[in-house]
A = this chain, B = another copy of it.
Amino acid sequence: MNKKKNKTKSVSIKDIAKDLNVSTTLVSLVLNNKSKEYSISDITKEKVLAKAKELNYKPNRAALSLRLGHTKNIGLIVPDISNIFYSRISRYFSDLVDKKGYNLMIYNTDENPEKEKKIIDSLLEQNVDGIILTSTCMNQSEINILRENNIPYILVDRYIQGIEASFVGVNNYQGTKDAIEYLIQQNISKIAYITVDPTSVSSLDERKKAYHDTLKKHKITPNPRYEITLSYDNIEKDVENKIFNLFRSEESPEAVFIANNKAAIETLKRLKSLKTSVTQDLKIVCFDNIPLYDVLPYPVTSVSQPILQICNKASEILFNEILNGEADEQKILLPAVLIVRN
């Protein structure tokens, strides 16, 4: 029992004009609240408004975009929408952009540079008024095209070396340093570092550097065995052996620092199946503060990112460029805060 359907052609100002025996100009003027400006009579105005409502008129955005040259659309590109850090970012931006009277379009790259490139292209074709980019950090040339097209955009969370653009993110270095020093203060020196694959991204890079620097500062020689990188694509498999090996030998670490929430969840899962004797006194510190840590019956100290502030600031800078054309290049690092749990 198939019913073949066609999208019904929607009503245009032409339809309204025809019904009312007026010009499309008149209709357009009224619908854009320019009645006063053009001293259109109240009767005419009301007639138009009533007809528009009656026919359930909706402006055609494509026509508007073509005519006006802008869309009131902002594109947000995130690397992994199923990661709560990015889904929270999406939620905040969705609100902020909405409040500015713009429309947020969210896109997911899955940490895939190719996909990111395609999305940027598409955003350009769609003529969005601005782009918020959490990049895979592997698309320098594509991003430079944004610059060439002079389309306002801002880098969030992940910085890209050599790109002319404003950036807002958390101070990964300070956050990690605080975390490592917190451990060292407790006379812990055997600190493992667990991270995840796309280590090209600035945030993970800075965290690792802070880990090394801080150990060095306290004259602790880093043990290469303690440094583990999980592969993003098959993290669940990868965690199996690597975490097991970490705790197998005599030289088990006294603490682990886990560089992001994805790695943390998998590591914690694996830790659960290890002998508790091994992990009982293990101190765990993770970057990103996620709800999980408030549920676990054992303490996980975490480095919390000021997500709301990041989004606020980024939105402010982006809209300042869109609305006022002011494109000062700003790099803003917001402080991370250590949330100690005992």
Contacts and interface: CB of A to CB of B under 8 A. Distances in A.
A65 B61 CA distance: 9
Interface stretch (A205-213, A294-302, A331-339): A294-302
Given A61-B127, A87-B82, A5 B321 contact: yes
Interface extent on A, as a size class?
A: 35 or more
A272 B293 CA distance: 11
A91 B82 contact: yes
A126 interface: yes
A10 B10 CA distance: 29
Nearest to A80: B91
A62 interface: yes
Contacts of A327: 2-5
Nearest to A119: B103
A196 to B, nearest CB: 15
A236 to B, nearest CB: 10
Interface string A120-152: 011011110100000000000000010011111
Interface stretch (A28-36, A104-112, A177-185, A309-317): A104-112
Contacts of A326: 2, 4
B4 A61 contact: no
B81 A87 contact: yes
Contacts of A323: none
B295 A297 contact: no
A271 to B, nearest CB: 9
Given A2-B327, A295-B268, A295-B272, A105 B106 contact: yes
A19 interface: no
Contacts of A3: 327-328
Contacts of A291: 265, 269, 292
A56 interface: yes
Nearest to A267: B295
A7 interface: yes
Contacts of A269: 291, 294-295
A90 interface: yes
A84 interface: yes
B59 A125 contact: yes
A127 B297 contact: no
Q: Lowest 9 A-B CB distances belong to which pairs? A: A62-B65, A106-B106, A87-B87, A4-B325, A62-B62, A62-B66, A94-B108, A82-B91, A268-B295
Given A5-B152, A8-B149, A94-B110, 10 more contacts: A3-B328, A4-B327, A7-B129, A10-B149, A60-B127, A61-B126, A62-B65, A94-B107, A272-B295, A296-B296
22 contacts: A4-B325, A4-B327, A10-B127, A10-B149, A56-B148, A58-B124, A58-B125, A59-B125, A61-B126, A66-B66, A80-B91, A81-B87, A91-B108, A91-B110, A94-B108, A95-B110, A104-B107, A106-B106, A268-B295, A269-B295, A272-B294, A272-B297
